[in-house]
Amino acid sequence: MHEDEETGNQGNEDDKNTNKVSPKQKHKKSKRPTNTQTTNELGVKSTASFFTLFVTGQIVSATFPLGPDKDYIFCRYELVAGPDWQLVSGPQYGITQMSTNKTGHFNDKIVFNMPIEVTYKSTSPFGWPQILVSVFGQNQTGNESLVGYAHVYMPIFGGHQQLDEHISSLSQAPILRPKCPNMLGDITSWLLRRQPELKNPKILLDSAQSKGLSMESYGTLEFQLHAVMRGARKLGYNWHA
């Protein structure tokens, strides 16, 4: 009988010990996060580490006040951004179709309507993306030559001008072409029917490098661009339209 009572007492003590939970274990259990909290925390960290810029629009047209000296005009464009910017989606390079205004007035618009749709992400506004366009022309014999260069910054906000009850951002950039440094270069260009070209057109995006260039305006290139930005305020950038 005494042995049974001792065995029963030991069993009760073991049950009590198993039911007891230390304060440290309770603290650990209460600190354990749920799956939803972990997802939310990860989401906050990911959105706060960079901001995104979504740009959509088109290269609308080119205008030459004295008319183009080529029968057909087309454009090659390139998106250029700083080292902190990453192109998430959309093409970095593109080329438009050939277009002409020979059926109308000599200084009518030459329409391209080349669509542009890209998404960037960055941690700094330094090196804001730009569109660098090289305008070329082709004559009836098929020879291509440079007409000029144009560049414009991507917009920060959706739009600034209101046209036909639709908000859009219209930008006009001058078409600049290099001038020959001397009379011999002018004569050579006239004989070959070719304009001088830049080895690296990206120097036009840097005012320090393009300071000594001799350029002349030949026309204007029109862009229609819209922008949507996300996550800039979380990084401390408060821009207002």
**Residue-level pLDDT, tens digit, the chain, 241 residues:** 444 444 445 555 555 444 554 544 544 444 444 443 334 443 444 445 889 999 999 999 999 988 888 889 999 999 999 999 999 999 999 999 999 998 888 889 999 999 999 999 999 999 999 999 999 998 878 888 899 999 999 988 755 444 443 345 578 999 999 887 777 777 777 777 777 888 899 999 988 888 878 888 999 999 999 999 888 888 888 776 5
CA separation for the pair 195, 180 (Å, rounded): 8
Residue 136's contacts (CB-CB under 8 Å, 6 or more residues apart) are 73, 74, 75, 76, 144, 145, 146, 147
| pTM of the entire predicted model | 0.72
pLDDT value at residue 48? 58
Whole-number Cα distances in Å, 82 to 56, 58, 85, 124, 233: 19, 22, 6, 9, 20
Q: Which amino acid is at 133?
A: V
Q: Determine the number of helices (DSSP H) and then strands (DSSP E) in the chain.
A: 4, 10
3-class secondary structure, 170: strand
HSE at residue 206, side-chain half, CA atoms within 13 A, is 10
Fold for 51-235, please state it: Immunoglobulin-like (2.60.40)
Residue 53's contacts (CB-CB under 8 Å, 6 or more residues apart) are 119, 120, 121, 122, 129, 154, 227, 228, 229
